[in-house]
Amino acid sequence: MRELRVREALREAMAEEMERDERVFLLGEEVGHYQGAYKVSEGLLERFGAKRVLDTPIAEEGFAGVAIGAAMVGLRPIVEFMTWNFSAVAFDQILSNATKLRQMSGGQFTVPIVFRGPNGGARQTAAQHSQAMEVFYASIPGLKVVAPCTPADAKGLLKSAIRDDNPVLVLEDETLYGTKGPVPDGEHLVPIGLADVKRAGEHVTVVTWGKMLPHCLEAAATLEREKISLEVVDLRSLRPLDSNTVVESVRKTGRCVVVHEHWPYGGVGAEVVDRVQRDAFDDLDAPVLRVTGRDAPMAYNRALELLTLPDAKSVVAAVRAVLAY
């Protein structure tokens, strides 16, 4: 077991997979000579050379398309978007090509591609650079979408994503890149499609992923002092979504709160609520509530930014609301 930061864990995952399979290569803006916009790919160009680590121009649609083509003819590309906001420029490549070519070609082509990068906002990155994009991607058939939060999950899920023959989107988080955590030694894979109970509890199930996980854990620590025990479920995979783990938990607690960064309309949060109310209806003591980012573009102003996304206090408020039933 070692302590690694999330960015080091991601780097290790890529390096190990590139070592293991010569078809795996990395491309994106600043991934090579600049050592990575967020230093995730630091050292990879030196180690693997310019044929395996490619610096691209600022042309997401272009390099996403190049990578999809490479995947179709047998390579296993990892495409880094400097942030997932910029994937909007390449949306058609992902939506129409990466996810659909396998089916449309009757299986003649597979697209074993990984798209990765930081998702959501960071600090004062403002309206166009603060979007939590799972709200667009998680509903697309043909894709897998994961959102790891801890270093161990980041390494394990990125490795599984690279080995997966389907297109997989890995939604990381810039504000969590520096977070340290234990990572098991040796080969460490986390299966896609499996949630993880990050904290066991009895009274309320809190379902979350990504940036909001630390706030949920903080809320749990706060409420522990009042003898209210939260069970915090980290989804880790948004598609496929492990509703079994969530429903098992709600069957135990009877109450559920879903906490996420993305906007309130629909998305992964609403999907979780649907599954809980359908599969655990007779176990609910209260309606399933959501705590979400505000229904507005992210402001540049720092004070407004802090009011836009949920924090531990918002989670505590929602927990009290479900306990009031």
Partner 1 sequence: MAKIVELPKLSPTMEEGTLVRWAKSEGESVQVDDLLAEVETDKATMEFRAFDRGTLLKQLVAEGSVAKLGQPVAIFGEPGEDISALVASAGPSAPKGAPSLAVAPADAAERSDVAHAEVRLDQPGDRDEGKARAVVVEPSPSSGSAEPSPQPRRRRDEPAANLVASTKGLAGVVLLPAHRREGASPPADGSGGAASPRVRRLARERGVDLSRVHGTGSHGRITTRDLEQVVASAPAAASVRVSGRVGDASRPEPLVRPASSMRKTIARRLTEAKREVPHFYLEADLDFDALTSLREQLNDGVEKGERVSVTDLLLRACALALRAVPASNASWVDGTIVEHRRCDISVAVAIEDGLVTPVVRDCDKKSVRAIGAELRELAERARAKKLKPEEMTDGVFSLSNLGMYGVDRFAAVINPPEGMILAVGATREVPVVRQGALAIGRRCAVTLSCDHRVVDGALGARFLQALRALVEKPVQILA
- Residue numbers annotated as active site: 60, 129
Rounded to a whole number of angstroms, the minimum distance from the CB of residue 75 to partner 1 is 25
H or E, element range at 117: strand 114-118
Binding-site member from 88, 95, 194, 299 for partner 1 (CB under 8 A): 194
Amino acid letter, 261: E
Per CB under 8 A, 166 contacts partner 1: no
Query: Could you give the count of Cα atoms lying within 13 Å of 181 in the half-sphere of its Cβ?
Result: 20
Q: Show contacts with partner 1 in window 134-163 (CB under 8 A).
A: 149-152
Q: Which two tokens stand for residue 246?
A: 């969530």
Cβ nearer to partner 1, comparing 97 with 314? 314
Q: Judging by beta carbons within 10 Å of its beta carbon (0-12, 13-18, 19+), is residue 261 exposed, middle or buried? A: buried
* 185 belongs to the binding site for partner 1 (CB under 8 A): no
In a 10 Å sphere around its CB, with 0-12 CB exposed, 13-18 middle and 19+ buried, how is residue 76 labelled?
buried
Closest by CA position to 140, among listed 93, 174, 181? 93
Work out whether the CA dihedral 42, 60, 261, 231 comes out positive or negative. Answer: negative
- CB-nearer residue toward partner 1: 61 or 218: 218
CA triple 148-136-82, angle to 5 deg: 60
Phi-psi region of 39 (alpha: psi -120 to 50; beta: other; left: phi over 0): left
| Nearer Cβ to partner 1 (85/93) | 85
> With CB under 8 A as the contact rule, which of the stretches 44-52, 62-70, 100-108, 306-314 interacts with partner 1?
306-314
d(CA 33, CA 158): 22
Q: Report the distance separating Cα 105 and Cα 108, nearest Å.
A: 5
Choices 69-77, 98-106, 109-117, 122-130 (CB under 8 A): range interacting with partner 1 = 122-130
Calculate the CA 94 to chain-centre distance: 16
Q: Which is nearer to partner 1, 93 or 245 (CB)?
A: 245
What whole-number distance in Å separates Cα of residue 69 and Cα of residue 59? Answer: 15
Residues 7-46 that bind partner 1 (CB under 8 A): 7, 35, 38-39, 42
Report the residue number, 110 or 175, with the smaller CB distance to partner 1: 175
Q: DSSP 3-state assignment of 79?
A: strand
Rounded to the nearest whole angstrom, what is the least distance from the CB of residue 92 to partner 1 in the complex? 28
Q: Rule CB under 8 A: choose which of 218, 229, 279, 299 binds partner 1.
A: 218
In angstroms, give the least distance from the CB of 320 to partner 1.
5
CB of 96 to partner 1, least distance (A): 26
User: Contact between 90 and partner 1 (CB under 8 A)?
Assistant: no
Contact between 208 and partner 1 (CB under 8 A)?
A: no
Binding positions for partner 1, 273-302, rule CB under 8 A: 281-287, 289-295, 302
Which lies closer to partner 1 via its Cβ, residue 64 or residue 288?
288
By CB under 8 A, tell whether 318 contacts partner 1: yes
* Among 12-20, 61-69, 73-81, 187-195, the segment contacting partner 1 (CB under 8 A): 187-195
